[in-house]
Amino acid sequence: MAHRLRAVWPPLLFAAVFLGLWQLLVVSRDIKPYLLPAPSLIWQNFSGELGLMSSTALYTATTALLGLVLGTLVGLVLALLAQRFIVVNHLMTPLAAGLAAVPIVALTPILNNMFDITSRTPRVLVTMIIVFFPVYVNVMRGLVQVQPVQLELMRSMNAAPGTVVRLLRIPNAIPFFFTAMKVAAPLSVIAALVSEYFGGPQLGLGSRIASAAANTAYGRAWAYVVAAIITGLVFYLAVLAAERLAAPWTGRSRST
C-alpha cells in the first residue's frame, strides 16, 4: 500500500501545482476567458451541470464503445484469418497500411450522406475503422511471433495445427492484444468525439464543445473537454483492469 501511495502522489502534486499556477496566471494577468478560462471557472461549469455533463459524456462514450467493440472484433477475426491463410495476409497487409493513411475522421461527412445522418452509424463506422488498425497489426504480430522452439515443442508433441493456434498462438497474442487496446480505447473516444464535429445528432461532447465555443460559453466548452478527458481515462483504466484479470502474466519477464 505504501509503495502505491508513493506512485500516486507525484502526479497529484504536479496537477495541483499546475492548476494553481494556471489560476494565478489568469487572475494576475486578467486573461480573458476566450483566450484561457481559469480553472475555477471551468470547475464551476463542470460541477454546476454534472447531470448534463455525464449524460453528454455517456452519449459519446456509447458511440466510442460500439466502435471499439466492433472494430476490435473485426481486427481479431481478420488477424486470425490472416495468420491461417496466407492469401488473406497478402490481401490485408497493403489494405491495412492504406487504411492507416486515410484521414478517416474527415470521411464522416461522406458517411453522413451514405448512412442516416440522424443515427450513430456514421460515427460508429469511423471509430471502428480507427480502432481496427492497431488491433489487427498487434494481434497479427502476437499470433506470428511465437518462439520457434515452442512451435517445435508442439510438433514434437504431435499437436494439430488448430491446437497450436488455440494453445500457443492465441495465448501468445493476448499481451499484444492488450497493448493494442491501451492505444485503441482512448483513441475510440477521440474518434467518436471528433466525428461529432461533422454534423449529426447534437447530443455528444464534440457537438457541445463546438456549440458552447460558438456561443462564447468558454467555461462550459472547457468543462466538456474535462468530461472528455475523464471518459478517455475511464476507457483506458478499464483496459488496464481487464488486462490484470485476463492476462496476469503480461509485463513479467518472459521465461526462456
Partner 1 sequence: MTATAPATARSAVHAEGVWKIFNEGQPGEVTALQDVTLDVAEGEFVSLIGPSGCGKSTLLRVIADLTHATRGDMQVAGLSAAQARQEQKYGMAFQQAALFDWRTVRRNVELPLELQGWDKARRSARAMELLEMVQLADFADHRPWELSGGMQQRVAIARSLAVDPPLLLMDEPFGALDEMTRERMQNELLRIRRETGKSIIFVTHSIPEAVYLSDRVVVMSPRPGRITEIVPISLGERTEDTREAEEFYAGVTAVREALRGHPHDGSSVRARVGEV
Q: Give me the residues that bind partner 1 (CB under 8 A), please.
A: 147, 149-150, 152-153, 155-159, 163, 167-168, 171, 174, 247, 249, 252-256
Min dist. Cβ of residue 141 to partner 1 (A)? 17
**Shortest Cβ 4–partner 1 spacing (Å):** 21
- Alpha-carbon distance of 92 to 84, in angstroms, equals 13
* Short-list 55, 17, 58, CA closest to 39: 17
For the bound state, the minimum distance from the C-beta of residue 160 to partner 1, rounded and expressed in Å, comes to 9
Judged by beta carbon, residue 61 or residue 173, the one nearer partner 1 is 173
Tell me whether residue 74 or residue 146 sits nearer to partner 1 (CB atom).
Answer: 146
Residues 6+ apart with CB under 8 A from 162: none
Q: Which is nearer to partner 1, 28 or 253 (CB)?
A: 253
Q: Residue 175 Cβ, how far from partner 1 at the closest point, in Å?
A: 9
Q: Are 120 and 66 in contact (CB under 8 A)?
A: yes
Four-point Cα dihedral 178, 183, 186, 191, nearest 10: -130
Q: Write the CA distances from 149 to 67, 153, 251, 256, integer angstroms.
A: 38, 6, 21, 10
Of 91 and 146, which has the nearer Cβ to partner 1? 146
